[in-house]
């Protein structure tokens, strides 16, 4: 088990780096996770992260297609924002569980 520490926040993550409790997520924690993925978060990143968190709270099964149809970004932009595995990486940064569609 690993922990992330940023200023005053300490949260537990699983072996893959996903938060164990999504309610402990903060923008600072997102920035720390993103830094480990070599991503510098912008306002557009946070729009996507907040959308993912809202859909997770609603119980929606997340997929690339749903995000592409969200109107926030298209699939190409999503890959540009979160290179290397956009849904998997963005979910980790958003503090939500890894989607079932991600290996």
Q: Is 102 a catalytic residue?
A: yes
pLDDT tens for 44-57 read 999 999 999 999 99
Res 11: pLDDT: 86
- Cα–Cα separations (whole angstroms), residue 64 to 8, 24, 61, 88: 34, 25, 10, 10
pLDDT tens for 35-94 read 999 999 999 999 999 999 999 999 988 888 888 889 999 999 999 999 989 999 999 999
Which residue among the candidates 41, 64, 72, 102 is catalytic per the annotation?
Answer: 102
In sequence order, what are the residues at sequence separation of 6 or more whose Cβ sits closer than 8 angstroms to the Cβ of residue 91? 18, 52, 62, 97, 98, 99, 102
Which among 47, 48, 76 is positioned nearest to 62, based on CA atoms?
48
């Amino acid at each position: 088990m690993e922990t992330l520490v940023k200023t005053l926040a300490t949260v537990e993550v699983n072996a893959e780096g996903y938060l164990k409790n999504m309610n402990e997520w903060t923008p600072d924690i997102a920035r720390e996770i993103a830094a480990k993925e070599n991503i510098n978060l912008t306002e557009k990143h946070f729009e996507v992260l907040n959308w993912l968190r809202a859909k997770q709270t609603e119980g929606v099964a997340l997929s690339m297609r749903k995000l592409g149809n969200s109107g926030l970004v298209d699939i190409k932009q999503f890959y540009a924002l979160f290179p290397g595995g956009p849904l998997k990486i963005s979910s980790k940064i958003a503090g939500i569980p890894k989607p079932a569609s991600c290996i």
